[in-house]
Amino acid sequence: MDFRMTDEQELMLENLREFCAREITEEKIQQWYQDRRVSEDVCKAYLDAGFGYMFIPEEYGGIPSDAMTLVLVVEELIRSAGATMPFMSYGLAMYDIAEFGTPEQVKMGMEMYKQTGQQCFSLALSEPVAGSDNASMQATAKWLGNGKVVINGTKTMVSHAETAPLIMVIAKDEDPSPENRNMSMWLVPREAPGVKLAPLHKIGQEITNFCEVYLDNVEVDESALLGVKGQGFLQLMQNFEIERLMISAHSLGLAQAAMEDAAAYAGQRIAFGQPLGNFQMIQQKLTDMEIKLQNMRNLLYKTAWEFDNGIPVRLNSALCKRYLSLAATEVCSEAMQILGGIGYTTETRVGRIWKDARGNSMSGGTDEIMVHIAGRQILKKYAK
């Protein structure tokens, strides 16, 4: 394995750093966290710069990109911003509609994306009684036999519901019983009669709006079906591994930003007549943080390399998601400790970074679910 970047990757990251320095200032970031969204002009600028097309198939105007390049871009974007930026989620969502949509759905979605730079739909999967336990899902889609379908149910923790014009609802076909594993994807207009939103307020990653979505006898055409009837959850699972890599890259970017702030502070802050970084306890913290960063990067890059070379990554993508989420939170926590009291204020960004990193232990599959996935693969790996 050779992790040296290509000339094209280095140029792309240099352009990304320039974009972030120009468009993603700390003042803007603080405003976006209050507004629960990135301003549309910056979303559009990110798309126009080409970065937002990296997840999308070439036939729809996308830029061909391997997993390694995507990982590098997400890591650098988050490191440069020192904040959660939603562009990764936008790209993944648009990949889904390009992968499973009809030509008409893809055209509609891409037109919306190009107009605003934001994903055309939010993903409504989790429910108050069905998170990782998707078999307990209660939302249903019932065919009326006249070309119409009625959807009922409650979804929770729906990211971008306030801003995306469509909601991609995962609902069971007809029967909500746990034995029924047939689920379908539906593109539902956010403004459709019977759709109601209730904002949820996170303690971190506030830049990504979060909602509960209530669907009360919402009627859509059968043509709103995305992909194959009954295969909705299986379709989503196709992208879980790349999603885990992207969330891991997000965690790594946050941890790297926190490390840079902490190390710089330790080198400048004078305590007891000398720089804080001269004290061995601080040096030990920085050393352990650096070990975690290098381990995080090595595991993530190795897994991305395996993905690009056709090597199954069901085990390693779960290991990545679990380890990087946990390690990033630890690195960010230690960074906040090095800054001391000022790190626990909003006058520095380290506290925000720590809160954002903590959320990745739940998003995209909890740490505990990653153990469940990895544990089964480990037993298979070492079976005699």
pLDDT band, very low/low/confident/very high, at 261 (cuts 50, 70, 90): very high
CA distances, 312 to each of 294, 302, 305 (Å)? 23, 12, 11
pLDDT, position 174? 95
Query: 50: phi > 0 → left, psi -120 to 50 → alpha, else beta; which?
Result: left
Output the six-digit token pair for 79. Answer: 């490191």
Q: Model confidence over 195-218: pLDDT tens digits? A: 999 999 999 999 999 999 999 999
Going through the chain in order, the beta strands assigned E by DSSP cover 121-124, 140-143, 148-159, 166-173, 183-189, 195-200, 210-221, 225-226, 270-271, 274-275
pTM of the model: 0.96
pLDDT band, very low/low/confident/very high, at 250 (cuts 50, 70, 90): very high
d(CA 85, CA 62): 20
* 383 burial via Cβ count (<10 Å: 0-12, 13-18, 19+): exposed
pLDDT, position 230? 95
Task: Supply the Cα-derived Rg of the chain in whole angstroms.
Answer: 22
What percentage of the chain has pLDDT greater than the value 90? 90
In this structure, the chain runs to a length of: 384
- Count the Cβ atoms, other than its own, within 10 Å of residue 30: 15
